[in-house]
Amino acid sequence: MTVATLPRQLGIRETLNLPVTVFAMDKKIRNVEVTVRESSGLVRFTKPAKASLQFSGPDDQTVYFPLVVSDRSGIARFTIEVKGNGESASQQIEIDVRNPNPYQTTTHAQLVKPGQAATFNVPLIGTPGTNTVVLEGFTLPPARVTKHLNTLMNYGFGCLEQTTSKVFPLLYIPYLADIPEPAARDIRDRVSAGIQRILSMKDGAGRLTYWPRGNYHHMWSEIYATLFLNLAKQEGYVISESSLKSIMTSHKRLANEWSASKKILEEYGHYSHTLQAFRLFMLAISGEPQLGAMNRLMEEPQLPELERWLLASAYARAGKTDVSKRIVAGLGNAVSIYRDSRVTFGSDVRDLGLIVIAMQDVGDRVKGFATLKKMADLMNSNRWYSTHSLAVGLWAYASYARTVPKPESLSLTYALANGTKKQMATNQNMLKVGLPPGDVNKQKLVVTNTSKSEMYIQLSLTGKPDISEEKGYSKGISLDVAYRMPNGESVNYKRIPRGTDFFATARIAHLGASGEMLTEVALQQIIPTGWEIRNLRMDQMQITKLEQSSSKYQDVKDDRVNHFLDLAVTLDEQNKRIAQVYTIALTAAYPGRFYLPAQKVEAMYNPDFSALIPGGWVEVYDPILESD
């Protein structure tokens, strides 16, 4: 019998001593040969991956095989074979080789007339194995669709809003471009998984909680997620009828109980009417318009423009087109440049996206296109937008494309530097094709518009930046991480003995004005692949000894712990800021040299508040091996 032990992941350029333990369970076994192979090419052994062992009787021995990971990400595949005295055993292991950095996408776009060409010569983004290149041609105004989809699909957190935003636009992307079957299957799988996660957040009262197993409700996110569930059902996805009925009953009750009372205004302020309008919009789209509640909201004096558009859409969906047109008579698409990080997660792009949907519902296509162009220009800029804004913007963009007449033919020809030349055509509003990254990197790519009308031609490059490129910073939040032994003494985490149990304690403080609260903050504590996270939930005595501030939700994964919290400005008696403290328990498990990824804290809906500690290399050593 043989057992090889590996971490749950490996990192690019890391080194590791792969331990293989051989159990000789029969006394006739004397001489054993151990061979290790890796078939992907992502790992290289620094010494011959073969060893001989001698046994004098039933026993076990461990042999180590030093290896180096390449700079490419992917799946490494190990095969361990043991033979001796006519007996044999083998073991196969697959392990993910990661670059821990988040994906980034850059775009290069040109407006090309019929018969003319665009030329690109750009470098790839990121480390090998993380690169993708997508060539796109489209007639609608550019909105960096691929970049924003990548941002959403690779987003690392999963509250109710974020879970919904990751999959919401995917319902409509097939109406925007031809999707090959493997990608279409991936879309279906992602949407189905999103549906199940949202339904898992339903409580006994039919409300959707903001975090799994929580008791906090975020009203806008509940309406938003329910809107997605109903639209997914309309697109043919399977939704539990009983669960959806329970959720819808809750929303209908809240819609009909709403009034602009003092209590509601105190709780939601000027967003009270926005929440009610969005809820009525959702219910109408879902086929259950609440006309009585709609009439009461329409009677409210000085209803803002966004709320009027949402209400008009609800009346149009309910078949009351005359009323809908009367509500928005004389309205345009003027929106404020703003960012709401608490109640509705709104922005100019989010509001324009909802207005585009409403304009389609009331039949105003002229204003609808002008509004789409305005929204697309913002999405095509370098401005920061939240997951919610991006998702609503993409939903509006793809929904608009679904309703416009399809072009007679959208076609282009691309020529790679290696001589490859291909013609692509579609009847959709977007043409999309993946290109081999190695054939594009710093090489000439010529794309010719063979359509009869102007076309935006865009090249989108995605990848993960190399490790050790991070720069430390602090914007509105301070972050410090200390590593200590259980007795409180500092530990040299950069070189630590195998088997050591220790703690990583992050201290974060809000640097804003006194009394200011920063909501929806995420703290990421990511560990090297050679360390392991220990679960202290079974050790209540140890937990009581740790410094630990409260959090809304804690997400524990194999290689990281994400804490989600609100961050207040608190001062001690000396008027010094008091930090919130978050501690995780760790074990130095595998000997080798590993990369400790950057530690980061950020306000998820406000880019003005974040801090980062750059990553660096750490070593876990085995005292026994060093003494040999």
Lowest-pLDDT range of 295-304, 433-442, 510-519: 510-519
- What is the SS3 assignment for 98-157? ECCCCCEEEEEEEEECCCCEEEECCCCCCCCCCCEEEEEEECCCCCCHHHHHHHHHCCCC
Question: Which class for 577: exposed (0-12), middle (13-18), buried (19 or more C-beta within 10 A)?
Answer: middle
What is residue 427's predicted lDDT score, i.e. its pLDDT? 87
- pTM, 2 dp: 0.93
Please state, in angstroms and rounded to a whole number, the distance separating the CA atoms of residues 250 and 205. Answer: 7
The Cα 384–Cα 465 span in angstroms is 19
Kindly report, residue by residue over 184-221, the tens digit of the pLDDT. Answer: 999 999 999 999 999 999 999 999 999 999 899 999 99
The residues near 333 (Cβ < 8 Å, ≥ 6 apart) are 352, 355, 367, 370, 371, 374
Q: Has residue 541 got a pLDDT over 80?
A: no
The total of other beta-carbon atoms located within 10 Å of residue 406's CB is 13
Q: Which residues contact 270 (CB under 8 A, 6 or more apart)?
A: none
pLDDT for 628 equals: 57
Q: What angle do CA 155, 200, 289 make, to 5 degrees?
A: 95
Split at pLDDT 50, 70, 90, the class of 84 is confident
What percent of the chain is helix, strand and coil (3-state, nearest 5)? 30, 35, 35
The share of the chain scoring above pLDDT 70, in percent, equals: 96
Instruction: For residues 524-550, give the mean pLDDT.
Output: 80
Distance in angstroms (rounded) separating the CA atoms of residues 164 and 191: 9
Q: Check if the beta carbon of residue 233 is closer than 8 Å to that of residue 244.
A: yes
| CA-based nearest residue to 128, from 559, 598, 597, 465 | 465
Query: For residue 438, how many C-alpha atoms fall within 13 Å in the half-sphere facing its CB?
Result: 3
User: What mean pLDDT comes out for the span 11-17?
Assistant: 95
Task: Considering only CA atoms, give the Rg of the chain.
Answer: 28
Mean pLDDT of 316-339: 94
Q: How does pLDDT run across 92-123, given as a tens digit for each residue? A: 999 999 999 999 999 999 999 999 999 999 99
Band (556; pLDDT cuts 50, 70, 90): very high
35-41 average pLDDT score: 95
Amino acid, res. 108: H
pLDDT of residue 403: 87
**pLDDT band (50, 70, 90) for residue 264:** low
> Tell me, what's the pLDDT at 545?
67
Largest CA distance in the chain: 94
pLDDT band at residue 29 using 50, 70 and 90 as cut-offs: confident
3-state secondary structure 87-101: EEEEEEEEEEEECCC
Segment 168-195 shows an average pLDDT of: 95
Statement: residue 2 has pLDDT above 80: no
CA distances from 175 to 56, 140, 170, 399 (A): 70, 13, 10, 8
Residue 514 — pLDDT band, cuts 50, 70, 90?
A: low
Instruction: Map 174-225 to HEC letters.
Output: HHCECCCHHHHHHHHHHHHHHHHHHHHCECCCCCECCCCCCCCCCHHHHHHH
Does the pLDDT of residue 539 top 70, yes or no? no
Query: What is the rounded average pLDDT for all residues in the chain?
Result: 92
Name the pLDDT band for 542 (thresholds 50, 70, 90).
low
Q: Helix/strand/coil (H, E, C) string of 337-366?
A: CCECCCCCCCEHHHHHHHHHHHHHHHCCHH
Q: Which residues lie closer than 8 Å to 355 by C-beta, 6 or more apart?
A: 306, 309, 333, 335, 371
End-to-end CA, the chain: 26
Nearest to 91 by CA among 49, 37, 40, 54: 37
pLDDT at 263 over 90: no
Question: What beta strand segments (E) does 25-58 contain?
Answer: 31-38, 43-45, 50-54
476 DSSP 8-state letter: B
Q: What is the arithmetic mean of pLDDT over 29-44?
A: 93
What is the sign, positive or negative, of the torsion defined by CA atoms of 356, 358, 363, 367?
negative
Q: Does the structure show a pLDDT above 60 at 546?
A: yes
Q: Each residue of 395-450: pLDDT tens digit?
A: 999 999 988 877 778 999 999 999 999 999 998 889 999 999 999 999 999 999 99
28 alpha-carbon distance from chain centroid: 55
Percent of the chain's residues with pLDDT above 90? 82
Q: At residue 571, does pLDDT exceed 90?
A: no
Q: How far apart are CA 394 and CA 143, in angstroms?
A: 8
Find the helix packing angle between 387-403 and 348-362, rounded to 10°.
Answer: 30
Mean pLDDT, rounded, for 463-480: 93
Residue for token pair 């990824």? 597
Q: How confident is the model at residue 21 (pLDDT cuts 50, 70, 90)?
A: very high
Separation of alpha carbons 610 and 476, rounded Å: 6
- How high is the pLDDT of residue 266? 60
- Confidence class for position 540, pLDDT limits 50, 70, 90: low
Q: How many residues does the chain have?
A: 628
Q: What is the mean pLDDT of residues 166-184?
A: 94
